[in-house]
A and B are shown apart, each in its own frame.
Chain A
Amino acid sequence: MRLQRLIPMIMLASIVMLGTACKTFVVKDVNYSHQLESVLTPDANGDIHDVRHGLTFNIAPFQQQEFGEDDSTRIQEIRLIRDAKGYYFITANQFKHVYVMKPGSGTLKMEKKIKISEDRLEAPALNFRNNTVQLVKTETNEIFVLTEDGIQENKTKEEKS
């Protein structure tokens, strides 16, 4: 009789212990940053392969986002860099924006589309300085400090996606 009363308690205790053991294992303070941007040339299908960082994707969505469906402008080179949190910052010549992309399971999801200027960028470059991503407009020597939320110093230029 007494044993019958104890069985539910034992089962409950077992479930609690099992749950504790299966709790997600997390490593904190991971730094995903790339010290140097990757400058990649798309192949005939629009695929780029970042051999050094083991990343492959198609640039067609960026083409569409930046130039629209009908524009025939082709992306010659795409530039990307990753910040410490793991966001990808992607831009190219003739872009007006820097795309902040969050990696998912087999995906890159746009977190922010940061407008840099009204004119198309002629020679953008992405640097990783002081633990932040910077966009350098080399033609004008302007520097924009970027985060996943947008331009750090001049938030008016941001455009919420």
Chain B
Amino acid sequence: MKRLISSTYIAVILLFSTVLAVAQTSDYQVKKNYEESYMELKTAIRDAMTVNQIDSLTKEISTLKYRNEEHQELLDDALYPETLESSIANLQQSARNSEHKLLVIEDQNERLDRLSNELSNYKSEIANLNNRSDSLRNAILDSEKSESDLSELVKRYRNSMQKRDEFVLNMIDSLFITYKDMNGETMAELSNQNQPRSIQIGDNPLKVIESVIDENLQILKSNDETLQTKDYLRMYVVQNRFNEVWDRIGNDLATIYGENNSQQWKSRINNKLTDWKASASKNMWASMDKYIEQNGLDIGAFDNNKSFYAAIESFINNETDASQEKMVTKENYKDFETFYNFWNGKIKNDWGQFVQEGQVLTMSQISTIDTEMMNWRDEAKPRSFVIPILFGLSLLTIVGLIIVLARR
């Protein structure tokens, strides 16, 4: 019975195949059908929005090839100078190109989603830290507590500011990592495809950047007495890094998120960054100057990297010359020790990371100053007369002994 069913089934299939074989087709129609399917697939590949769509279109290309293999000779002639094989290969190549492009876009979408979440987290964390810093600052201002309690408050406040700056640096690094490779065609495509999604007010990186700049400007302009040189150096570094990243990705960010106002966004952020840079620089150099002065050193005036280096170099050269003139004095050596402590303890050690990152002094400048410091040390070191005296006494003793021996 089973066999009978099976035979009947095969017979039906054969009969159906025969009917299909009997149905006469126009070769021209075969070519036309192929060309229509080809064009439909080509358009579908061009318009595909997801990798899944491309996968299904790739299967359709295989089906098209399979369906037309029996007409290969005819199609090779009809499609001249193409062939069935080459036209299918073209379609497959288009599908692969499209898939690659979509994968890049999907990957960038994922990165943007991640960044969007990160930005939200950073934003709320920075807001928390700002609140905490503000309340600590208010507590310091209103404090009637003992000196040790006040000192603890200041310490907590400075820690909170440091943490906040670290978050800002992390955020700007995340922005940079996400956007640094997005450019050209992909960027334009991304901008077009994701317009409705990416311009959500809350996640707009331009707004986050603007608010971070505003907050920093506010802190810097408040002339906070509790902040120290190290804090201002850190803020200077954060500003430098911000500027650097904006120079690299600002254009692309403004293109994607600025909608029709990309130019306005760009110039607004550029202006604010200039303001921030000026404030960060002014506060940092002023604080550095104050610190040096408080430590009894007078290295002269400076307000930027170049004049700071020139001031140090000139100070060391003058001190070295002075040491050469006053050979037998400990005063110069004391000056040397004070500067040495500032140079090695602060510039190279405590503030070293920020001095390098913010290019307050370059490595080559530091190395030159180190060499000049060694000269100064050699010149400033008080000379000891014990050895020459001992040497003289020894010499006299030897001469005396020789005379005594000679008389005998």
Which A residues form the contact surface with B (CB < 8 A)?
Answer: 35-37, 39, 79, 125-128, 136, 138, 141-143
CB of B111 to closest CB in A, whole Å: 50
Query: Which chain B residues lie closer than 8 Å to A125 at the CB level?
Result: 25-29
Contact with A along B67-89 (1 / 0, CB 8 A): 00000001001100000000000
Q: Is B96 an interface residue (CB 8 A)?
A: no
Q: Is B138 an interface residue (CB 8 A)?
A: no
* Structural contact, B22 and A128, CB atoms closer than 8 A: no
* Structural contact, A138 and B31, CB atoms closer than 8 A: no
Q: Is B24 an interface residue (CB 8 A)?
A: yes
* Structural contact, B26 and A35, CB atoms closer than 8 A: no
Q: Which residue of A lies closest to B76 (CB)?
A: A35
Q: Which residue of B lies closest to A37 (CB)?
A: B28
Which residue in A35, A39, A79 is a CB contact (below 8 Å) of B77? A35
* Structural contact, A35 and B78, CB atoms closer than 8 A: yes
CB of B113 to closest CB in A, whole Å: 52
* Structural contact, A79 and B25, CB atoms closer than 8 A: no
* Structural contact, B22 and A127, CB atoms closer than 8 A: no
Contact with A along B146-168 (1 / 0, CB 8 A): 00000000000000000000000
* Structural contact, A141 and B22, CB atoms closer than 8 A: yes
* Structural contact, B23 and A36, CB atoms closer than 8 A: no
CB of B31 to closest CB in A, whole Å: 6
- Of A125, A126, A128, A142, chain B has the most CB atoms within 10 Å of the CB of A125
Main DSSP-derived SS at the A contact region? strand
Query: Which chain A residues lie closer than 8 Å to B25 at the CB level?
Result: 125, 136, 138
- Of B22, B23, B26, chain A has the most CB atoms within 10 Å of the CB of B26
Query: Which chain A residues lie closer than 8 Å to B22 at the CB level?
Result: 141
Query: Which chain A residues lie closer than 8 Å to B29 at the CB level?
Result: 125, 138
- Of A36, A39, A79, A143, chain B has the most CB atoms within 10 Å of the CB of A36
Cα of A142 to Cα of B22 in the assembled complex, Å: 10
Nearest 5 A/B pairs, CB to CB: A125-B26, A35-B77, A136-B24, A127-B27, A141-B24
Other than the given A79-B28, A127-B27, A138-B25, 8 more pairs (CB < 8 A) read A35-B27, A37-B26, A37-B28, A125-B29, A128-B27, A138-B24, A141-B23, A142-B24
* Structural contact, B31 and A36, CB atoms closer than 8 A: yes
* Structural contact, A36 and B78, CB atoms closer than 8 A: yes
Query: Which chain A residues lie closer than 8 Å to B26 at the CB level?
Result: 37, 125-127, 136, 138
* Structural contact, B74 and A36, CB atoms closer than 8 A: yes
Query: Which chain A residues lie closer than 8 Å to B77 at the CB level?
Result: 35-36
Contact with A along B19-63 (1 / 0, CB 8 A): 000111111110100000000000000000000000000000000
Q: Which residue of B lies closest to A140 (CB)?
A: B24
Cα of A95 to Cα of B141 in the assembled complex, Å: 104
CB of B227 to closest CB in A, whole Å: 81
CB of B224 to closest CB in A, whole Å: 82
Cα of A36 to Cα of B74 in the assembled complex, Å: 8
Q: Can you give 16 contacting A-B residue pairs, CB < 8 Å?
A: A35-B27, A35-B74, A35-B77, A35-B78, A36-B27, A36-B74, A36-B77, A36-B78, A125-B25, A125-B27, A125-B29, A126-B26, A127-B26, A127-B27, A136-B24, A141-B23
Query: Which chain B residues lie closer than 8 Å to A141 at the CB level?
Result: 22-24
Q: Which residue of A lies closest to B27 (CB)?
A: A127
CB of A85 to closest CB in B, whole Å: 19
CB of A102 to closest CB in B, whole Å: 23
Query: Which chain A residues lie closer than 8 Å to B74 at the CB level?
Result: 35-36
Query: Which chain A residues lie closer than 8 Å to B27 at the CB level?
Result: 35-37, 125, 127-128
CB of B310 to closest CB in A, whole Å: 79
Query: Which chain B residues lie closer than 8 Å to A35 at the CB level?
Result: 27, 74, 77-78
Which residue in B23, B24, B28 is a CB contact (below 8 Å) of A39? B28
CB of B126 to closest CB in A, whole Å: 68
* Structural contact, A143 and B24, CB atoms closer than 8 A: yes
CB of A18 to closest CB in B, whole Å: 44
Q: Which residue of A lies closest to B28 (CB)?
A: A37
CB of A128 to closest CB in B, whole Å: 7
Query: Which chain A residues lie closer than 8 Å to B28 at the CB level?
Result: 36-37, 39, 79, 125-126
Q: Which residue of B lies closest to A124 (CB)?
A: B26
Q: Which residue of A lies closest to B78 (CB)?
A: A36
CB of B262 to closest CB in A, whole Å: 48
Q: Which residue of A lies closest to B22 (CB)?
A: A141
